[in-house]
Homo-oligomer: A and B are copies of this chain.
Amino acid sequence: MRLLLAEDERELSKALCAILKHNNYSVDAVYDGQDALDYGMDENYDGIILDLMMPKMNGLDVLEKLRKAGVSTPVLILTAKAETEDKILGLDKGADDYLTKPFSTGELLARIRAMTRRKSEFTPNLLTLGNLSLNRETFELSTDQGSIRLGNKEFQMIEMLMDNPGRLISTEQFMERIWGYETEAEINVVWVYISYIRKKLATLGANVEIKATRGVGYTLEEVKC
């Protein structure tokens, strides 16, 4: 789960970041409205946490522009103002929920879960393709021949592939979605993980394969013997 956190108070941002990461979210933090908009345009987030009062651009304007641009990522509005007026204005503009500061971390997490639940309700806990299945809860990849627990990065990669079987996924998509924009990691890491995953698929005797398309990316395909 990848979240965008737009909050200009550095201390609060840092604290929230830590809490969210601890709860197994990948978090990109931005500190003003312009960045929030730029980053938010990327569809690679499962949710956006948006402070209303930010430099450069107001949170509500960010939200409005995002929606106008056709971005449908769920948005949770964060505001110091308890005024109902602002809340309603936010919901009108396409926010999914709001939270007034100060709030308990528990409520924040609950609301994020609720906000992203709609989407995950439609995504099964067990992904399958051919004789291969991936358990989203235990991070286990298995076939009839056994199962292997995957590391975080491996899991996210195979998850992306199994979510779109037969669909070509670019190396950049992997990088953006798993490592985030600001990463300094080399493109290399994607190749390395593809290699690791292939090895595990072979070990498990899976009848699927990851095909490379030169200069573009990878496709997961069921292989018919």
Interface residue ranges, A against B (CB under 8 Å): 22-24, 35, 38-39, 41-42, 44, 103-107, 110, 137-139, 149, 151-152, 166-168, 170-172, 176, 181, 187, 213-216, 219
Cross-chain contact B39 with A104 (CB below 8 angstroms): yes
How many copies of this chain are found per oligomer?
2
Residues of chain B within 8 A (CB-CB) of A106 are 38-39, 41-42, 44, 176, 181
Cross-chain contact B213 with A149 (CB below 8 angstroms): yes
9 contacts between A and B (CB under 8 A): A22-B171, A23-B170, A24-B215, A38-B104, A39-B104, A41-B104, A138-B166, A149-B213, A152-B215
Cross-chain contact A137 with B167 (CB below 8 angstroms): yes
A192 to chain B, nearest CB (A): 17
Chain B: CB-nearest residue to A105: B181
Residues of chain B within 8 A (CB-CB) of A103 are 38
Residues of chain B within 8 A (CB-CB) of A176 are 106
Given contacts A39-B104, A149-B213, 8 further A-B contacts (CB under 8 A): A22-B171, A23-B170, A24-B216, A35-B104, A38-B107, A138-B219, A139-B213, A152-B214
